[in-house]
Amino acid sequence: MRADYLFTSESVSEGHPDKVSDQISDAIVDLFLSKDDQARVACETLTTTQRVVLAGEIRCKGVFENGAWADGALEEIERTVRNVVKEIGYEQSGFHWETFEFENYLHAQSDHIAQGVDASGNKDEGAGDQGIMFGFACDETPDLMPATLDYSHKILQRLAADRKSGAAPFLEPDSKSQVTLKYENGKPVACTAVVVSTQHAPGYHEGEKEAELKAYVRKVVGEILPEGFLSDATRWHINPTGKFEIGGPDGDAGLTGRKIIVDTYGGAAPHGGGAFSGKDPTKVDRSAAYVTRYLAKNIVAAGLAKRCTIQVAYAIGVSEPLSLYVDTHGTGTVADEKLEEAIRQVAARKLGGLTPRGIREGLHLNKPIYRQSAAYGHFGRTAAGDAFPWEKTDLAADLREAVG
């Protein structure tokens, strides 16, 4: 590993068009899981000027059975979608929660896919698709996340909170951030560049209003980054293109699953390729990415490594993973092969294994907990209730014991 370098990660806000789509898709997952904890959902969302379109495959008792919708189900789906957009804050002529056109093309899950996933007879529940999934953790922040991504997320979360509270009434929902940090001896020590582009109320691109917006952004960034990270050498790019009044789905079409690096580790670790939002937890794109994060985070929390990447792979319809790989990037206190064996032991004992069923049941994933994961990252998060169970560090002692 290089010891001295610059590294950059970006984030996008809940009002970014792709994130609007992600949140709608996950709100549909939550809606169906609230009705049937064994629901199957693969929901894709398109957002554009005054239009939201759903498409995908579902199966849900009491909502959609034998190819027919239950009474009131279609209306509840539309209410759910409009409520997501309302909570984000879109009340603009080009995208308004109350007046956009809505189309729903959700339909029954393929029987040929279902036969591979469902448990039957002596066959355990299989993976919903083939694929590779990665989990990662590092000791750069208290959340055990890459610092560049952690700060990028937190900047935009603050902007959204201030917009909704009225503390920054000139902000609109769509925004992006990017943080570049200087690393020395593998640790972040300074911020060399900050980029923040935020949609704004009319007139905040020039004169005193522009100065007010830029001063506000500088203040927020200063409060998010550690003391001493900002200096006269830090380069600032705040709304570098100028006016940003047209944003969200009116400015750029949004699709579910287009921000997978924002969702995961900001480029500091590999990503398997599959998106998370809109998928129920039988889909290993989602659940296996969560369990590998859970295991990697516990390895770092246990003091067994400062940096840990885990990969698993699955075949559609097959329950056991095809492979398990651990890389501690030269920071481990024991051999990576020993950590792989410890993971197998601990996962079998505490989760019921790394099968799709073991992951779902071990992490209690069959609950409506996904909407809040669909903006500001799926990892490094905490929330009240049952959300983000993959962020717990309750396996640290077990892993230490397993490696002796």
Mark whether 235 is an active-site residue: no
The answer to whether 112 is annotated as binding is no
**Nearest-10 Cα torsion for 390, 393, 394, 399:** 110
The answer to whether 297 is annotated as binding is no
Mark whether 253 is an active-site residue: yes
Residue type, 2: R
Mark whether 123 is an active-site residue: no
314 near 284, Cβ under 8 Å? yes
Given the residues 100, 244, 276, 388, the one annotated as active site: 244
Mark whether 57 is an active-site residue: yes
Mark whether 51 is an active-site residue: no
Given the residues 22, 26, 36, 44, the one annotated as active site: 44
Mark whether 200 is an active-site residue: no
The answer to whether 157 is annotated as binding is no
Mark whether 16 is an active-site residue: yes
What is the C-alpha to C-alpha distance for residues 198 and 244, in angstroms, rounded to an integer?
Answer: 7
Q: How far lies 172's CA from each of 23, 162, 223, 327, in Å?
A: 17, 11, 21, 42
Given the residues 37, 57, 78, 139, the one annotated as active site: 57
Which of helix, strand or coil describes residue 283? Answer: coil
Mark whether 394 is an active-site residue: no
The answer to whether 258 is annotated as binding is yes
Mark whether 71 is an active-site residue: no
Q: How far lies 74's CA from each of 9, 78, 102, 129, 192, in Å?
A: 39, 6, 11, 28, 50
The answer to whether 350 is annotated as binding is no
- Please state the length of the chain: 404
Mark whether 279 is an active-site residue: yes
The answer to whether 219 is annotated as binding is no
Mark whether 258 is an active-site residue: yes
The answer to whether 275 is annotated as binding is yes
The answer to whether 301 is annotated as binding is no
Given the residues 259, 360, 371, 400, the one annotated as active site: 259
17 near 248, Cβ under 8 Å? yes
Mark whether 19 is an active-site residue: yes
The answer to whether 57 is annotated as binding is yes
Q: Report the binding-site residues for K(+).
A: 44
Residues that are catalytic: 16, 18-19, 44, 57, 176, 244, 252-253, 258-259, 279, 283, 285
Which amino acids are annotated as binding site for ATP, given as ranges? 16, 174-176, 243-244, 252, 258-259, 275, 279
